[in-house]
Amino acid sequence: MIKNAAVLVVGAGPAGLVLANLLQEAGISTVVLERGSREHVQTRARAGFLGAHSAKVLTEHGLGAGMLHNGQSHGTCAFRYGDSQFELDYSTLGRSEVHTVYPQQNLVTDLIAAYLERGGDLRFGATVTGIGTASATVRYQDSTGTGEVSGRFIAGCDGSNGVTRTALPAGLVTRCGRDHGIAWLAVLAEAPQSMSAVTYAVHRNGFAGHMARSPHVTRYYLQVPANDDPAGWQDDRIWSELALRMRADTFGQLKEGRITERRIVRLRSDVVDPMQHERLFLAGDAASLISPSAAKGANLAILQAEVLARAFTDALVRDDESALNAYSRTCLPRIWRAQEFSHWMINLLHGPSGTGQEADFHRALHRTRLDNLRDCRAQQDLFAEHYVGI
């Protein structure tokens, strides 16, 4: 039996946990229902790059101790293409902001600990199966059977395959999106970073990426055919393909290590508009899935959780629902700005395939786009502003 609370939060990812912590800080009762086990959510490796705004939100609300202590500040990225490489020190470009590298599973672990330490009600193994948007009721299933819990509001923070977005009535809500037709083999290696910067390599065989996660763990990406089987990618094959696309012979060998994760990630994006109906409000991937090409998903989730926490607080403490009514209007322009930049990054990182005059034409345009970023200060400032900002 789960006790009723003012806000029922579905999902304990970055969106749900930041929201629950901020509401708890404002003295608003919450209950978080999470399908997975605590161990599952605390070990789910996904994001790693937190933008300046995310770091600020976490720090301002006393949730940033782990990030500040163990995270690494990161302010450069490099592009390799043809036989050249250039580096952008984005900490000195645009708004002179940096990323903090802090693995998402560590952040989720910190947020769970903070919420529970302050007496939060978080139910693991509780799968939400139905939503009453007008009554703010949630039906769930856990090890004891099925149950129902009521509140004043529901926050749908259960990701892009969750149940809350399906509760928005089709006739009143539009959902647009696309499968970019591109897949990455996402790899985690028990190895220190091979380069000092995030490195994006454009190669005829496809894109390859290198990103730090911690002093002992590095994330790599390899563009692969959309229906590829990760089991076909043995460690040796991964390292040799990475070395080829990263031009390791020219720019330095990769620091290899045991590969602990290999999974196919399809690049997909979508946006739900509006992100709210009656008493239900979506945040994070539930509202908008964004491809990982520009590392925006967790950052958008934190931003929306912050906006939503403020709006719920206005409604519940000050009896003012104007911010809640404007929630979608407040968030959607920022979501679209992040979507636009992520889409631009997809085009920058993936060269055209095939042969023939048309492919050659697109290849030359693509190379010129990279040259422009290398040579044009105005482009670099714009890039930096969108790359770290939200």
What residues line the site for ligand RFL (CB under 6 A)? 10-16, 33-36, 41, 46-49, 104, 127-128, 157-159, 162-163, 186, 265, 284-286, 292, 295-299, 301
Is 192 an annotated catalytic residue? no
CB 47 within 8 A of CB 298: yes
Residue closer to ligand RFL by CB (options 96, 127) is 127
Is 350 an annotated catalytic residue? no
Q: CA geometry: angle at 273 spanning 271 and 276, to 5°?
A: 115
Residues linked to residue 138 through DSSP beta bridges, in sequence order: 131, 149
Residues linked to residue 32 through DSSP beta bridges, in sequence order: 9, 122
Query: What is the SS3 assignment for 216?
Result: coil
- The catalytically annotated residue of 99, 180, 296, 343 is 296
Handedness of CA 268, 274, 277, 279 (dihedral sign): positive
In angstroms, the CA 207 to CA 202 distance is 5
To the nearest whole angstrom, how small is the minimum distance from the Cβ of residue 272 to ligand RFL? 12
Residue closer to ligand RFL by CB (options 293, 313) is 293
In angstroms, the CA 80 to CA 370 distance is 9
Is 352 an annotated catalytic residue? no
- The catalytically annotated residue of 115, 140, 200, 221 is 200
To the nearest whole angstrom, how small is the minimum distance from the Cβ of residue 226 to ligand RFL? 15
**41, amino acid identity:** V
Is 200 an annotated catalytic residue? yes
Is 90 an annotated catalytic residue? no
Residue closer to ligand RFL by CB (options 85, 269) is 269
To the nearest whole angstrom, how small is the minimum distance from the Cβ of residue 36 to ligand RFL? 4
Residue closer to ligand RFL by CB (options 111, 366) is 111
In angstroms, the CA 304 to CA 52 distance is 15
- The catalytically annotated residue of 74, 99, 180, 343 is 74
- The catalytically annotated residue of 14, 81, 90, 292 is 292
Query: What is the SS3 assignment for 289?
Result: strand
Query: Where in the sequence numbering do the catalytic residues fall?
Result: 74, 200, 292, 296, 387
